[in-house]
Amino acid sequence: MTSTTNTITNALSFDIEDWFHMVDIDAVADPKAWPTLPSIVVEYTHWILHTLDDANVKATFFVLGWVAERYPELAKLIGDHGHELGTHSYWHRKVYDLTPQQFRDDLKRSIDVIQEQSGRKVLGFRAPSFSIRPGTEWAFDVLGDLGLRYDTSLFPARRGHGGYPCPHRPHLFNGAPTGRPIHELPISVMRLGPINLPFSGGGYLRLLPGAVIRYGFKTLNQRGLPVVVYLHPRDFAPECPRVPMPLHRRFKSYVGLRSTKGKLKMLLHRYRFDTCARVLGIDPSRTALK
């Protein structure tokens, strides 16, 4: 680890949703069935909070509105531990499948429930499955209209559900229809020749060897860039229920679950982390509503 690496503060984030919020899996696509399914989100959010307390690290939790409403103590608990609360939408629908009005209604519902329960202002958004892609720039105007200060949904690599070419660093996004700028914290990729390889979250972090993940941190941090880590409660849950899905999704969804706890602890030990808002330089002292 170089001294340069030591001085960079990386962004740590968790998308707080249940195992059955995976997109495009027919067996769990109907929200009416969700309340009948076994849940892992509370148990593993507790594990994450405990682990971050032990490491004395603060992170951003992008909570699904549906989860907040179903477990009304969860958003408050996260805030009481000193973490930042963001929104991951209400129903976990892909942004490009919605009209601007549907997106606005869904997003407002999620912000209202998270703020009401936690007493803290929501500043940031992460789209379900990083589903802001070219053509859905109107979403940034909706974020601004609803008082959000930043987005962390752009995924500058090839992807099944999104992908958006953009600078590989925190920047001001100017491409909304009104031209109103908003802070953007894109997902980290490392350059391997012509390939942009994600390495710091979800299935990528579960599947890649620790040495590759550390190489990604090194190459970005040496250029002065923060790495954005994103994980879900289900990334730590090897016993989470299995549902029918295509083989390639099964592999990406379930491989590496047993190693993720160790990888997170390794990262917390080696690198400096903070909330997305603070990495973007947004003043978190204004997040108290009361």
Stretch that binds Zn ion, among 6-14, 79-87, 122-130, 186-194 (CB under 5 A): 122-130
Q: How far is CA 286 from CA 17, 88, 119, 147, 279, in A?
A: 26, 20, 12, 12, 15
Q: Which CB sits closer to Zn ion, 128 or 162?
A: 128
> Is 128 near Zn ion (CB under 5 A)?
yes
Return the number of the residue (86 or 128) whose C-beta is nearest Zn ion: 128
Least distance (Å) between residue 288 CB and Zn ion:
27
Closest CA relative to residue 281, chosen from 184, 188, 189: 184
DSSP assignment of 172-210 equals: EE--STT---EEE-PPPEEEETTEEEE-SBHHHHHHS-H
Residue the block writes with tokens 């805030």 = 79
The site string for Zn ion over 4-43 (x = CB under 5 A, - otherwise) reads -----------x-x--------------------------
DSSP 8-state code for residue 120: B
- Minimum Å gap between C-beta 152 and Zn ion is 12
User: Contact, 138 vs 95, CB < 8 A?
Assistant: no
Residues in 163-192 at the binding interface with Zn ion, rule: CB under 5 A: none
16/189 with CB nearer Zn ion? 16
By DSSP bridging, strand 182-184 and strand 9-16 are: unpaired
> CB-based burial of residue 215 (10 Å sphere; 0-12 exposed, 13-18 middle, 19+ buried)?
middle
Which range touches Zn ion (CB under 5 A), out of 120-128, 131-139, 203-211, 217-225? 120-128
- Nearer of residues 15 and 84 to Zn ion, judged by Cβ: 15
Which residue number, 17 or 151, has a Cβ lying nearer to Zn ion? 17
* Spatial separation of the C-alpha atoms in residues 141 and 175, rounded to whole Å: 10
Looking at the Cβ atoms of 15 and 235, the one nearer to Zn ion is 15
Residues binding Zn ion: number (CB under 5 A) = 3
CB of 64 to Zn ion, least distance (A): 7
Closest residue by Cα to residue 45 from 9, 19, 10, 11: 19
Other beta carbons within 10 Å of 6: 11
- Segment near Zn ion (CB under 5 A); pick from 123-131, 173-181, 264-272, 278-286: 123-131
Gyration radius from the chain CA atoms: 18
Give least dist CB 275 to Zn ion, A: 18
Amino acid at 232: H
**Closer Cβ to Zn ion, 8 or 237, answer by number:** 237
Interacting residues with Zn ion (CB under 5 A): 15, 17, 128
